[in-house]
């Protein structure tokens, strides 16, 4: 692309081949000056306009002042033009005619083109909106014409104009739109509608308009504004804006050939879905391409029984409870018989019910563009999907998804909270939805960036776990809203890593529960933080020590609040990797290791009383895996552990191994009581 401010810096060569024979017809070096614009000429050479000269045509050197910025490139048949201007002053039009390979530069005065005026160019014309006057120019004209919009029938306020194809623009205001066309050098309004429309020119004389939010497609003839045909796109929900429209050939089943050819359309939408639509019913299809860009996902359990509600929370009279239970069990018995002995019986309601090993789950995914979808884990079918306009991923490239209420509390719906950043990245958006059908239960925009999201174990009166959002200004927001009184006694501590200032800070919840305060901090002296790891919250250790061959016991150092940071300094032979281990609550440093002449990427894993990491040895050109286990020299008498009452100083036993491949992920298995031996999973980048 071409940067409008500085031009395009190409260095090297320009080569042109004859496509039929493969012969190189032109090979020329390019001048190392920033280009303002360029385009290929019919006979194979390249017309280049730099700040000081125009190359490629028969011309003299022209000077283009530094203050001009490039706007657009227009083309019509043999004529092409490039346009540069200084806001509020003057502009230059560089015209090239392929007929005689001549280049002409014309200066025009643009006192109206102040820096807030935006130019929009369609194929062969350019337009700019200023207040209620529209300035426009076609290829070949020497100056801009202007028209007052109310004179051509557009009496309402126009907010923006968009290009829709050759010489066609769409002016849009609040809920009103008009189609404008430049004919014979003059701008005319063809059609005005009281909806929000997007459109694209198809063929020679027609334009396809799609009005939102009703999603009606209509084909309008440009010569007389006559609307041929219109039909409605089905599919529920908002898809965002249209990214591009392409017409399908008349042989496609969606294109109808009647007295007027109505082409089928291939539309790609802002929510990364692609649809093919046509006037005939049942001819089109739809694809969800956004699922290729999933950024965050979570698994949800299904409700235990979808048939009869078990109102276990509300005590009612015993007779009713007994009959409810009997009915439920009779129903289960009926289903069991049908399943095993009924021929070909398949109950589709089973899809939304938990099966015996709890393998039937829902997968909730949030994609890059802000589309949230729920898939069925066994069939992969998309249950529902919704485009949430205005959200974007958080700074770590993901969304934070938390299960606030599971599906076991019938009749209360399950709730999932999705924390995202707003599209302009300044605010935080909290959406709480029901994952079974996608309806929004709560929506809030918080006016600062989020620093931490924590799901506590405290439940409110409706069995919803309280979700805490800590923002950058150290304030705590809760969902359900204003539940600070329930969480104020929670011993909540967390640590934040600041990679840009190379700091690690620890925070704790204040007495009122409405804000957090910084309790400890440390600063690293390195170039880059490579990786941070903590233990899983439900990490349990089954045995307290390791028995050695001579019957002595090595007592394990088990601290559930550890955080490990891997940092690199320098590169190559002068670089080193530091691994630092801190206690997240008190800030006490437990361990530090330096690997000289090593570098990242580092994968770090903390579990039980050990730490595994995988790093690259720059000196010996191989990957290595290092295992460090922490033991204490005597067992402590007390069975309780507190990070704020430190009395243990662990020592580390390390060993390292050579690894052959780079890794993409490192994880450890976990079971309910951690009795089974834990396995470390190495996901190699080759896919193994």
Query: Applying CB under 8 A, which residues contact another protein?
Result: 503, 506, 519-525, 577-580, 582, 585-596, 598, 624, 626, 636-638, 640, 642, 644-649, 652, 654-658
Q: How far is the CB of 531 from another protein (least distance, A)?
A: 15
**Residue of 423, 396, 379, 105 lying closest to 240 (CA atoms):** 423
Q: How far is the CB of 493 from another protein (least distance, A)?
A: 10
Give the angle subtended at the CA of 617 by the CAs of 614 and 619, to the nearest 5°.
Answer: 175
Is the CB of 640 or the CB of 677 nearer to another protein?
Answer: 640
Cβ partners under 8 Å of residue 538, min gap 6: 670
Q: How far is the CB of 629 from another protein (least distance, A)?
A: 12
Is the CB of 148 or the CB of 645 nearer to another protein?
Answer: 645
Is the CB of 196 or the CB of 629 nearer to another protein?
Answer: 629
Q: What is the largest CA-CA distance in the chain?
A: 101
Q: How far is the CB of 657 from another protein (least distance, A)?
A: 5
**CA–centroid distance for 327 within its chain:** 47
CB 309 within 8 A of CB 331: no
Is the CB of 250 or the CB of 654 nearer to another protein?
Answer: 654
Peptide bond into 480 cis (omega under 30): yes
Cα–Cα distance, 594 to 569 (Å, whole number): 10
Is the CB of 338 or the CB of 633 nearer to another protein?
Answer: 633
Phi and psi dihedrals of 341, rounded to 5?
-115, -15
Is the CB of 37 or the CB of 616 nearer to another protein?
Answer: 616
Q: What is the CA radius of gyration of the chain?
A: 33
Q: How far is the CB of 573 from another protein (least distance, A)?
A: 16
CB 7 within 8 A of CB 34: yes
Cα–Cα distance, 372 to 417 (Å, whole number): 12
At 221, list the tokens: 């003839």
Is the CB of 71 or the CB of 579 nearer to another protein?
Answer: 579
At 480, list the tokens: 């359900």
Cα–Cα distance, 242 to 269 (Å, whole number): 4
Is the CB of 301 or the CB of 624 nearer to another protein?
Answer: 624
CB 50 within 8 A of CB 31: yes
Q: How far is the CB of 628 from another protein (least distance, A)?
A: 8
Give the angle subtended at the CA of 375 by the CAs of 374 and 379, to the nearest 5°.
Answer: 165
Cα–Cα distance, 3 to 36 (Å, whole number): 8
Q: How far is the CB of 658 from another protein (least distance, A)?
A: 5
CB 584 within 8 A of CB 495: yes
Q: Any bridge partners for residue 430, and if so which?
A: 419, 444
Q: How far is the CB of 638 from another protein (least distance, A)?
A: 4
**Residue of 446, 450, 471 lying closest to 396 (CA atoms):** 450
Phi and psi dihedrals of 601, rounded to 5?
-75, 145
Q: How far is the CB of 585 from another protein (least distance, A)?
A: 8
Peptide bond into 350 cis (omega under 30): no
Decide: helix, strand or coil at residue 322: helix
Is the CB of 312 or the CB of 620 nearer to another protein?
Answer: 620
Q: How far is the CB of 600 from another protein (least distance, A)?
A: 14
Is the CB of 187 or the CB of 579 nearer to another protein?
Answer: 579
Is the CB of 225 or the CB of 587 nearer to another protein?
Answer: 587
Q: How far is the CB of 605 from another protein (least distance, A)?
A: 16
Q: How far is the CB of 547 from another protein (least distance, A)?
A: 24
Q: How far is the CB of 50 from another protein (least distance, A)?
A: 48
CB 457 within 8 A of CB 465: yes
Q: How far is the CB of 451 from another protein (least distance, A)?
A: 19
Cα–Cα distance, 440 to 102 (Å, whole number): 62
Is the CB of 158 or the CB of 584 nearer to another protein?
Answer: 584
Is the CB of 70 or the CB of 557 nearer to another protein?
Answer: 557
Instruction: Provide the Cα torsion 130, 135, 136, 140; round to 10°.
Output: -130
Is the CB of 76 or the CB of 519 nearer to another protein?
Answer: 519
Cβ partners under 8 Å of residue 16, min gap 6: 24, 25, 26, 27, 40, 44, 45, 46
At 378, list the tokens: 């066994």
Three-state SS for 107-154 is EEECCCCCCCCCEEEECCEEEEEECCEEEEEECCCCCCEEEEHHHHCC
Cα–Cα distance, 479 to 468 (Å, whole number): 7
């Amino acid at each position: 692309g071409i940067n409008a401010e500085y031009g395009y810096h190409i260095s090297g060569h320009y080569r042109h081949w004859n496509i039929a024979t493969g012969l190189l017809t032109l090979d020329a070096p390019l001048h190392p000056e920033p280009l303002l614009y360029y385009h290929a000429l019919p006979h194979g050479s390249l017309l280049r306009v730099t700040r000081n000269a125009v190359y490629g045509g028969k011309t003299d050197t022209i000077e283009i002042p530094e203050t001009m910025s490039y706007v657009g490139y227009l083309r019509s048949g043999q004529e092409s033009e490039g346009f540069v201007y200084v806001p509020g002053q003057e502009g230059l039009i560089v015209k090239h005619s392929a007929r005689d390979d001549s280049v002409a530069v014309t200066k025009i005065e643009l006192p109206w083109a102040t820096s807030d005026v935006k130019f929009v160019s369609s194929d062969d014309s350019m337009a700019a909106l200023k207040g209620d006057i529209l300035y426009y120019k076609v290829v070949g004209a020497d100056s801009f014409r202007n028209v007052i919009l109310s004179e051509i029938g557009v009496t309402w306020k126009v907010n923006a104009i968009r290009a829709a194809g050759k010489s066609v623009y769409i002016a849009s205001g609040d809920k009103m739109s008009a189609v404008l066309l430049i004919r014979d050098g003059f701008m005319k309004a063809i059609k005005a509608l009281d909806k929000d429309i997007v459109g694209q020119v198809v063929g020679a004389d027609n334009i396809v308009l799609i009005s939102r939010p009703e999603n009606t497609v209509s084909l309008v003839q440009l010569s007389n504004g006559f609307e041929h045909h219109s039909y409605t796109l089905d599919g529920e929900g908002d898809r965002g804006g249209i990214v591009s429209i392409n017409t399908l050939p008349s042989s496609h089943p969606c294109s109808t050939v009647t007295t007027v050819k109505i082409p089928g359309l291939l539309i790609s939408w802002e929510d990364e879905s692609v649809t093919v639509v046509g006037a005939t019913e049942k001819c089109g299809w739809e694809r969800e391409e956004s699922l290729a860009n999933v950024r965050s996902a979570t698994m949800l359990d299904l409700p235990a029984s979808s048939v009869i509600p078990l109102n276990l929370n509300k005590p009612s009279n015993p007779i009713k409870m007994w009959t409810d239970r009997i009915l439920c069990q009779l129903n289960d018995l009926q289903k069991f018989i049908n399943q095993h002995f009924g021929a070909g019986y398949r109950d589709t309601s089973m899809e939304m019910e938990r099966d015996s090993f709890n393998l039937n789950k829902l997968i909730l995914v949030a994609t890059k563009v802000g589309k949230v979808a729920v898939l069925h884990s066994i069939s992969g079918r998309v249950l529902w999907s919704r485009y949430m306009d205005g959200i974007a991923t958080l700074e770590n490239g993901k969304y934070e998804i938390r299960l606030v209420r599971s599906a076991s509390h019938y009749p209360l719906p399950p709730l999932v909270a999705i924390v995202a950043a707003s599209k302009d990245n300044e605010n935080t958006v909290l959406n709480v939805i029901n994952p079974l059908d996608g309806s929004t239960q709560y929506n809030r925009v918080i006016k600062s960036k989020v620093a931490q999201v924590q799901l506590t174990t405290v439940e409110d009166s409706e069995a919803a776990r309280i979700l805490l959002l800590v923002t950058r200004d150290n304030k705590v927001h809760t969902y359900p809203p204003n539940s600070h009184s329930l969480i104020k006694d929670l011993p909540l501590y967390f640590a934040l890593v600041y990679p840009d200032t190379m700091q690690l800070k620890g925070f704790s919840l204040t007495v009122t529960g409405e804000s957090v305060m910084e309790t400890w901090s440390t600063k690293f002296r390195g170039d880059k933080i490579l990786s941070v790891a903590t233990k899983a919250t439900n990490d349990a250790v089954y045995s307290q020590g390791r028995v050695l061959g001579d019957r002595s016991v090595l007592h394990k150092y088990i601290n559930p609040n550890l955080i490990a940071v891997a940092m690199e300094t320098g590169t190559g032979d002068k670089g080193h990797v530091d691994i630092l281990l801190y206690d997240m609550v008190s800030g006490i440093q437990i361990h530090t290791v330096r690997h000289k002449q090593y570098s990242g990427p580092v994968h770090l894993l903390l579990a039980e009383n050990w730490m595994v990491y995988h790093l690259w040895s720059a000196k010996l050109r191989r990957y290595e895996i290092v295992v460090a286990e922490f033991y204490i020299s005597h067992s402590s008498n007390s069975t309780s552990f507190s990070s704020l009452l430190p009395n243990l100083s662990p020592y580390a036993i390390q060993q390292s191994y050579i690894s052959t491949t780079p890794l993409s992920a490192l994880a450890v298995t976990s079971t309910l009581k951690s009795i089974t031996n834990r396995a470390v999973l190495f996901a190699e980048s080759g896919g193994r």
